[in-house]
């Protein structure tokens, strides 16, 4: 028996493989065709009954009398629209004839907000699809494909084995069509019956339609029951898609599995370098170097230490000569640390006390590393890793080995390690690394920065479970969403590979157009600038199409040294960086230092809460000699290339007036014009005082990271609360809106820097709030520019209005999706 499936829409029929979604393109949701619609009404593809699909309004399923189920899914990622733009014309459970209108949608509105209008029409169950048409125009009622209807009957199952488990739905929009397809794909290799139940209702886990009808939302707990010989194995496969919570019963007990297999599933981590990669696991382990405590004659030990230091310094300087960018700067910094006088003094004291050269060096480096690790600032704590790295390298040299050892990696390795030292990373063949995942570490560590500069997706702080994964295990590392999936089903691996390839192609296309202006479809120009902290950052920014520098962090000149940089050194460096930006404007932020970022030559009191103490302009005004030297240096650089003074953590007008007066005096002292002076808006007080500040400042720059921290009273470094710190919280958006209003009223430009400016999802919202300049991480600039060109500023303003009325950051992100 055959069933003819007619086109439910007017439009252009195309193969599913052309749909820009890995689940539909791979036919994980079912075989079928897709239509790029020109009409706005979905009609019944045959006589049948409308099947409930939970609360979805963007999709409809029709079941024939013979049990064939066909799903019509309007657009891609339209579940995120939460029904906006869709109107039902029929009711679930209603019997309809072929051609009956089922739902209508706003073609223009959905096209603007959805990833794609491509509408898959797929066989969801009850038959086997035959030949189908494609690459032609179709009207409602035209034949799309035929289905051989399966005879209904219950196959015999081995009832002797059953397993049940409780799991949690981890998907943002619940069990909609794509997650349901992933569930079904995970169960394909197994013969057992599997059902998922919640709220007294059960659904066949192999039926996407049945699962959608459950209406399960993100975070809901479901009971999974499997019956058959391979019941336990099926549940273990399903645990890689859903989040297992508690195994309720297992009959019979399954044999023990290797530890690596038991770790299958998603493991969350902190994004350190964005990207998506697919590969196989390569584990790195590193044992501590052993040293003898008791030394020989002090003169011998001193000679041995001096020779080892010379070897290590030569090794690092040699690597630095052939390196570029961040890698070169790091190697040069390490070479300088090798000859640090405090380390030398401490090691010499231990040697005179009868200790060996290795023991003395280890004690010297660990004492300094411990003091850094105890600091409030996460970046200072992570600098302790540099000293541990130098400790390890020198100890290797002392025992006659090379400073760093490299492991031979297979191609497309996803490297897993407890933590990693910069020298270990540098010693690896980067061409063979697909991704990096560390159990510990931080997002601002040198290894994270090296990974980002090399374009390697990386996660940190993923926890000790990643250390139990065996070499060679397939994995997906998603450093966009923040998880690594160990031993995923083959269908997910294939889909992730296609996604990664598409992203790489998209990035290449974006980069090719990165130097073109970013202008919205209705003619609003958006300046996309770069955040920078070195000459290497400036060069990278220009390679990625930056329109200038919205934030030059000057701390790189002041940290890791025993005395402050002089005026001449600063002026030369600022001029060098400004010239690298090719005559585009550069906002040079004055020293943003305080109790949270201490420096050796600037004695600051220890504070219980550094975030609320001496920070930014407060510290600069408390040490005017440092500020004056920096203002003179910026003024000198500005006379050669466009530089502007950006003052951090301004809270009130009096602080700005003091800095402006000093800037005028300093410019006069070096006989140049006063550069424009702007302020960072980083506190609620500054945002609410934006009208007054904008009357006296030449420009405003919103620091989204600190503004969110202070508005939401959540420490940026708080491990447990960090996920709640979201700059898209409506309260933060209201402060941004107030800042823009204050700037606009006084004819002043306003920009946004910080993580929010690099968040592609937030871009339409910023444009809608009236921001016309952003300063982002160089690597994301091409993508941001491309997105700007797809947006309509008028529509963005409407979106921003809705976001300001939302009740949570999650609600805003849902709106943006």
Q: Is 629 helix (H, G, I), strand (E, B) or coil?
A: helix
> Binning pLDDT at 50, 70 and 90, where does residue 173 land?
low
pLDDT at 657 > cutoff 90: yes
Q: What is the mean pLDDT of residues 524-531?
A: 96
The percentage of residues in the chain with a pLDDT greater than 90, rounded to a whole number, is 39
Tell me which DSSP letter residue 428 carries: S
Q: Give me the residues paired with residue 138 across strands.
A: 11
> Binning pLDDT at 50, 70 and 90, where does residue 53 land?
low
CB-based contact 690:679 (threshold 8 Å): no
> Binning pLDDT at 50, 70 and 90, where does residue 466 land?
confident
What's the confidence (pLDDT) of residue 792?
Answer: 95
CB-based contact 415:282 (threshold 8 Å): yes
Is 753 a residue of the active site? yes
Q: What is the mean pLDDT of residues 114-121?
A: 88
Determine the Cα–Cα distance for residues 398 and 312; give it in Å rounded to an integer: 10
CB-based contact 9:37 (threshold 8 Å): yes
Q: What is the mean pLDDT of residues 400-413?
A: 77
391 and 414 inside one domain: no
Q: Please report whether residue 434 resides in a domain.
A: yes
Which of 119, 149, 179 is the C-terminal boundary of a domain? 149
pLDDT at 94 > cutoff 80: yes
Nearest residue to 435 (alpha-carbon basis) of 389, 496, 390, 492: 496
Backbone angles phi, psi at 236, to 5 degrees: -65, -35
What's the confidence (pLDDT) of residue 254?
Answer: 34
Q: Please report whether residue 505 resides in a domain.
A: no
Backbone angles phi, psi at 694, to 5 degrees: -65, -20
What's the confidence (pLDDT) of residue 121?
Answer: 94
CB-based contact 146:131 (threshold 8 Å): yes
pLDDT at 278 > cutoff 90: yes
What's the confidence (pLDDT) of residue 230?
Answer: 80
pLDDT-wise least confident of 67-81, 175-189, 667-681: 175-189
In sequence order, what are the residues at sequence separation of 6 or more whose Cβ sits closer than 8 angstroms to the Cβ of residue 300?
Answer: none
DSSP string, 22-55: HHHHTTTT-SEEEEEESSSEEE-SSSEEEEP-TT
Q: Please report whether residue 73 resides in a domain.
A: yes
Q: In CATH, what number is assigned to the domain containing residue 124?
A: 2.70.70.10
Q: Please report whether residue 264 resides in a domain.
A: no
In sequence order, what are the residues at sequence separation of 6 or more whose Cβ sits closer than 8 angstroms to the Cβ of residue 797?
Answer: 768
Tell me which DSSP letter residue 444 carries: T
What's the confidence (pLDDT) of residue 193?
Answer: 83
Q: Please report whether residue 527 resides in a domain.
A: yes
> Binning pLDDT at 50, 70 and 90, where does residue 444 land?
low
Tell me which DSSP letter residue 547 carries: S
pLDDT-wise least confident of 288-302, 368-382, 645-659, 712-726: 368-382
- Tokens encoding 354: 């009868």
In sequence order, what are the residues at sequence separation of 6 or more whose Cβ sits closer than 8 angstroms to the Cβ of residue 809?
Answer: 724, 726, 728, 729, 730
pLDDT at 616 > cutoff 60: yes
Quickly count helices (H) and strands (E) in the chain.
27, 35
For 226-276, how does the pLDDT look when each residue is reduced to its tens digit (9 = 90+)?
Answer: 888 788 878 877 776 776 543 333 333 333 333 333 346 889 888 888 889
What's the burial of 470, exposed, middle or buried (CB within 10 Å: 0-12/13-18/19+)? middle
How many residues comprise the chain? 817
Determine the Cα–Cα distance for residues 33 and 13; give it in Å rounded to an integer: 7
Q: 571 or 778, which is more confident?
A: 571
CB-based contact 182:23 (threshold 8 Å): yes
53 and 182 inside one domain: no
CB-based contact 550:751 (threshold 8 Å): yes
199 and 302 inside one domain: no
For 411-421, how does the pLDDT look when each residue is reduced to its tens digit (9 = 90+)?
Answer: 899 999 888 87
| Residue entry with tokens 């090794």 | 315
Tell me which DSSP letter residue 230 carries: T
Q: Is 17 helix (H, G, I), strand (E, B) or coil?
A: helix
Q: What is the mean pLDDT of residues 344-370?
A: 86
What's the confidence (pLDDT) of residue 251?
Answer: 30
Question: How many other CB atoms are there within 10 angstroms of residue 699's CB atom?
Answer: 20
Nearest residue to 460 (alpha-carbon basis) of 272, 324, 682, 632: 272
What's the confidence (pLDDT) of residue 382?
Answer: 54
pLDDT at 432 > cutoff 50: yes
Q: Which domain holds residue 743?
A: 518-816
Highest mean pLDDT among 231-240, 512-521, 753-762: 512-521
Tell me which DSSP letter residue 673 carries: P
- Tokens encoding 610: 């550094």
Q: In CATH, what number is assigned to the domain containing residue 175?
A: 3.30.1340.10
626 and 766 inside one domain: yes
What's the confidence (pLDDT) of residue 257?
Answer: 34
Q: 641 or 181, which is more confident?
A: 641
Q: Please report whether residue 508 resides in a domain.
A: no
Determine the Cα–Cα distance for residues 508 and 488; give it in Å rounded to an integer: 28
pLDDT-wise least confident of 35-49, 71-85, 353-367, 495-509: 71-85
Q: Is 357 helix (H, G, I), strand (E, B) or coil?
A: helix
274 and 224 inside one domain: no
Q: What is the mean pLDDT of residues 180-201?
A: 77
Tell me which DSSP letter residue 76 carries: B
Determine the Cα–Cα distance for residues 594 and 377; give it in Å rounded to an integer: 10
Question: How many other CB atoms are there within 10 angstroms of residue 191's CB atom?
Answer: 13
Q: How many Å separate Cα 536 from the centre of its chain? A: 22
481 and 436 inside one domain: yes
Catalytic residue among 58, 334, 446, 544: 446
Q: Please report whether residue 258 resides in a domain.
A: no
Determine the Cα–Cα distance for residues 192 and 196; give it in Å rounded to an integer: 13
449 and 591 inside one domain: no
Is 729 a residue of the active site? no
Q: 195 or 327, which is more confident?
A: 195
Determine the Cα–Cα distance for residues 784 and 794; give it in Å rounded to an integer: 18
pLDDT-wise least confident of 98-102, 238-242, 593-597, 673-677: 593-597
For 6-52, how does the pLDDT look when each residue is reduced to its tens digit (9 = 90+)?
Answer: 999 999 998 888 888 767 776 777 889 999 999 999 999 999 999 86
Q: 74 or 81, which is more confident?
A: 74
Which helix (H) or strand (E) covers residue 424, if one does? helix 422-427
The percentage of residues in the chain with a pLDDT greater than 70, rounded to a whole number, is 85
pLDDT-wise least confident of 161-165, 781-785, 809-813: 161-165
Which of 462, 495, 528 is the C-terminal boundary of a domain? 495
436 and 563 inside one domain: no
Which of 149, 178, 207 is the C-terminal boundary of a domain? 149
784 and 716 inside one domain: yes
CB-based contact 656:696 (threshold 8 Å): yes
Q: What is the mean pLDDT of residues 780-800?
A: 95
568 and 479 inside one domain: no
> Binning pLDDT at 50, 70 and 90, where does residue 434 land?
very high
CB-based contact 35:7 (threshold 8 Å): yes
For 549-567, how does the pLDDT look when each residue is reduced to its tens digit (9 = 90+)?
Answer: 999 999 888 876 778 899 9
Q: In CATH, what number is assigned to the domain containing residue 554?
A: 3.20.20.60
For 287-320, how does the pLDDT look when each residue is reduced to its tens digit (9 = 90+)?
Answer: 667 788 888 999 999 999 999 888 888 888 887 7
CB-based contact 17:118 (threshold 8 Å): no
pLDDT at 158 > cutoff 50: no
How many Å is the Cα radius of gyration of the chain?
30
Q: 119 or 167, which is more confident?
A: 119
326 and 198 inside one domain: no
Task: Report the chain's mean pLDDT, rounded to a whole number.
Answer: 83
Nearest residue to 682 (alpha-carbon basis) of 655, 713, 650, 658: 650
549 and 644 inside one domain: yes
CB-based contact 427:449 (threshold 8 Å): no
**pTM metric for this prediction:** 0.56
Angstrom CA distances, 305 to 711, 771, 774, stand at 52, 57, 50
Nearest residue to 484 (alpha-carbon basis) of 505, 452, 454, 461: 461
Q: Please report whether residue 156 resides in a domain.
A: no
Q: What is the mean pLDDT of residues 198-219?
A: 71
Q: 198 or 87, which is more confident?
A: 87
What's the burial of 290, exposed, middle or buried (CB within 10 Å: 0-12/13-18/19+)? exposed
Alpha-helical segments (H) within 290-356:
298-322, 325-338, 341-352
- Overall number of domains in the chain: 5
> Binning pLDDT at 50, 70 and 90, where does residue 627 land?
very high
| Residue entry with tokens 């444009």 | 767
Catalytic residue among 192, 643, 753, 796: 753
Q: In CATH, what number is assigned to the domain containing residue 478?
A: 3.50.30.10
| Residue entry with tokens 């645990």 | 239
């Amino acid at each position: 028996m055959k069933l003819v499936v007619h086109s439910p829409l007017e439009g252009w029929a195309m193969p599913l493989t052309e749909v820009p979604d890995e689940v539909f393109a791979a036919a994980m949701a079912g075989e079928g065709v897709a239509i790029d619609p020109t009409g706005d009404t979905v009609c019944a593809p045959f006589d049948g009954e409308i099947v409930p699909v939970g609360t979805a309004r963007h999709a409809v399923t029709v079941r024939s009398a013979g049990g064939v189920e066909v799903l019509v899914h309007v657009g891609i990622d339209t579940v995120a629209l939460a029904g906006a733009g869709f109107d039902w014309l029929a009711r679930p459970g209603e019997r309809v004839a072929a051609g009956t209108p089922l739902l209508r949608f706003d073609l223009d509105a959905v096209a603007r907000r959805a990833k794609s209008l491509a509408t898959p029409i797929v066989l969801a169950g009850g038959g086997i699809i035959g030949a189908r048409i494609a690459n032609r125009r179709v009207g409602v009622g035209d034949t799309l494909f035929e289905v051989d209807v399966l005879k209904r009957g219950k196959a015999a199952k081995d009832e002797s084995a059953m397993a049940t488990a409780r799991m949690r739905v981890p998907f943002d929009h619940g069990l909609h069509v794509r997650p349901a397809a992933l569930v079904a794909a995970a169960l394909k290799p197994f013969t057992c019956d599997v059902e998922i139940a919640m709220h007294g209702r059960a659904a066949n886990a192999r039926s996407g339609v049945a699962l959608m009808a459950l209406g399960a939302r993100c975070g809901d707990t479901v009971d999974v029951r499997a019956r058959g010989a391979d019941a336990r194995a099926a549940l273990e496969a399903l645990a890689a898609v859903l989040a297992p919570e508690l195994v309720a019963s297992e009959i019979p007990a399954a044999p023990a599995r290797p530890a690596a297999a038991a770790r299958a599933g998603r493991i969350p981590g902190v994004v350190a370098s964005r990207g998506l990669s697919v590969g196989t696991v390569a584990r790195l382990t590193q044992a501590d170097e052993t040293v003898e405590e008791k030394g020989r004659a002090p003169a011998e030990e001193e000679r041995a230490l001096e020779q080892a230091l010379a070897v290590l310094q030569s090794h690092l300087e040699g690597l630095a000569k052939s390196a570029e960018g961040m890698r070169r700067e790091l190697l040069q910094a390490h070479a300088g640390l090798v000859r640090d006088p405090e380390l030398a003094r401490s090691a010499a004291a231990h040697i005179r006390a009868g200790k060996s050269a290795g023991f003395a060096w280890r004690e010297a480096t660990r004492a300094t590393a411990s003091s850094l690790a105890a600091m409030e600032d996460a970046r200072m704590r992570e600098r302790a890793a540099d000293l541990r790295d130098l400790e390890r390298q020198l100890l290797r040299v002392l025992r006659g080995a090379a400073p760093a050892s490299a492991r031979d990696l297979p191609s497309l390795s996803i490297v897993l390690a407890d933590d990693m030292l910069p020298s270990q990373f540098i010693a690896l063949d980067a061409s063979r690394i697909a991704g990096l995942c560390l159990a510990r570490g931080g997002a601002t560590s040198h290894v994270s920065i090296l990974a980002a500069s090399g374009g390697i997706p990386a996660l940190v702080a993923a926890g000790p479970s990643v250390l139990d994964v065996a070499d060679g295990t397939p994995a997906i590392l998603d450093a966009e969403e923040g998880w690594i999936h160990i031993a995923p089903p083959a269908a997910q691996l294939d889909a992730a590979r296609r996604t990664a390839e598409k992203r790489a192609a998209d990035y290449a296309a974006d980069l090719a157009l990165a130097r073109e202006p970013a202008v919205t479809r209705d003619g609003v120009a958006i300046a996309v600038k770069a955040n920078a902290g070195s000459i290497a950052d400036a060069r990278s920014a220009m390679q990625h199409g930056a329109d200038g520098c919205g934030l030059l962090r000057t701390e790189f000149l002041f940290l890791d040294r025993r005395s402050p940089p002089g005026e001449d050194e600063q002026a030369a460096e600022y001029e060098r960086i400004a010239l690298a930006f090719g005559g585009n404007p550069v906002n040079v932020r004055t020293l943003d230092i305080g109790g949270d970022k201490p420096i050796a030559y600037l004695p600051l009191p220890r504070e219980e809460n550094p975030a609320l103490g001496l920070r930014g302009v407060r510290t600069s005004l408390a040490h005017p000699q440092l500020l004056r030297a920096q203002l003179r240096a910026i003024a000198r650089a500005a006379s050669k290339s466009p530089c502007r003074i950006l003052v951090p953590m301004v809270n009130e007008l009096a602080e700005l007036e003091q800095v402006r007066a000093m800037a005028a005096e300093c410019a006069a002292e070096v006989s140049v014009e006063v550069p424009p002076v702007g302020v960072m808006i980083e506190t609620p007080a500054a945002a609410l005082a934006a009208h007054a500040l904008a009357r006296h400042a030449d420009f405003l720059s919103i620091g989204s990271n600190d503004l969110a921290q202070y508005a939401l009273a959540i420490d940026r470094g708080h491990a447990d609360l960090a996920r709640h710190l979201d700059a898209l919280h409506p309260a933060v958006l209201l402060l941004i809106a107030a800042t823009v209003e204050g700037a606009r009223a006084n004819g002043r430009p306003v920009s946004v820097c910080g993580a929010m400016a690099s968040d592609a999802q937030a871009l339409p919202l910023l444009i809608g709030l009236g921001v016309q300049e952003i300063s982002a991480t160089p690597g994301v600039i091409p993508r941001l520019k491309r997105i700007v060109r797809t947006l309509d500023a008028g529509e963005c303003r409407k979106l921003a209005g809705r976001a300001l009325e939302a009740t949570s950051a999650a609600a805003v992100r849902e709106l943006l999706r």
